[in-house]
């Protein structure tokens, strides 16, 4: 059974940083393109970014709202993908989901940016 | 970025009746090299992660009830729930994976 488990969410002040982790199991993690998607409370799904597998270059892409502030990385030895978030803003407050395209999702972790 | 626009934003349907959700993309999602449309539909219920319903615009995910169907090509797509059940109350999102920069529609809330 495929499982994705996020961790690292919490309360952070505007301008602060936070790192989310997502551990995958039940599939060949090092072959997977791993994605982060977020959902602000009461709003729709927003694609945050993605990291390709090493065979495809391990490159990253980011949505415009987070480009330059967020960084996705992976450690295939730990079956883990990371989302490093800097210069956080109140509008980054959301549930953040780890996603292995197209069908596997974690349960999400809440990030709250507030003073 | 490819912009995905869904209509309507919300709809109320009687139990057993048909629900139709439209999705328009700002760029064609059709790849002629493999004859596929890079469009998926997800169902999102409160407190749960999204659930894949349809991929390649019309391929139903295993385990998804047959009342869910997807159609369309190029820039215009439709999700149809042929006979709405109580458990179908949710928000539905179209999602393009044609571009390396993926995007979602804004969502359509389906109510009884």
CA distance B111 to chain A (A): 16
| Residue A64 with chain B: CB contacts under 8 Å | 1
Whether B101 and A106 lie within 8 Å, measured CB to CB: no
**pLDDT attached to residue B5:** 98
B106: nearest CB among A37, A44, A103: A44
**pLDDT attached to residue A26:** 95
CA distance A113 to chain B (A): 20
The secondary structure of residue B61, as a DSSP letter, is: P
d(CA B26, CA A25): 36
**pLDDT attached to residue B40:** 97
Contact A99, A105 (CB under 8 A): yes
Does B61 lie at the interface with A, CB-CB under 8 angstroms?
yes
A8-65: pLDDT as tens digits: 999 999 999 999 999 999 999 999 999 999 999 989 999 999 999 999 999 999 999 9
Contact A5, A106 (CB under 8 A): yes
B42-75: pLDDT as tens digits: 999 999 999 999 999 999 999 999 999 999 999 9
């Amino acid at each position: 059974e495929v499982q994705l488990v996020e961790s690292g969410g919490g309360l952070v002040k505007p301008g602060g940083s936070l790192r989310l982790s997502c551990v995958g199991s039940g599939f060949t993690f090092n072959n997977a393109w791993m994605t982060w998607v977020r959902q602000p409370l009461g709003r729709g799904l927003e694609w945050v970014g993605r990291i390709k597998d090493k065979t495809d270059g391990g490159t990253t892409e980011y949505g415009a709202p987070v480009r330059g502030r967020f960084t996705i990385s992976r450690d295939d030895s730990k079956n883990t993908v990371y989302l490093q978030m800097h210069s956080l803003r109140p509008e980054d407050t959301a549930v953040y989901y780890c996603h292995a395209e197209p069908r596997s999702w974690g349960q999400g972790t809440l990030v709250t940016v507030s003073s | 970025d490819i912009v995905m626009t869904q209509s309507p934003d919300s709809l109320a349907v009687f139990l057993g009746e048909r629900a139709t959700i439209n999705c328009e993309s700002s760029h064609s999602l059709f790849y002629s090299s493999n004859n596929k449309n890079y469009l998926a539909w997800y169902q999102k219920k409160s407190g749960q992660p999204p659930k894949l319903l349809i991929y390649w615009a019309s391929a139903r995910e295993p385990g998804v009830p047959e009342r869910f169907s997807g159609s369309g090509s190029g820039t215009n797509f439709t999700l149809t729930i042929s006979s709405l059940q109580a458990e179908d109350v949710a928000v539905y999102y179209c999602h393009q994976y044609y571009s390396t920069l993926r995007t979602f529609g804004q969502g359509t809330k389906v109510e009884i």
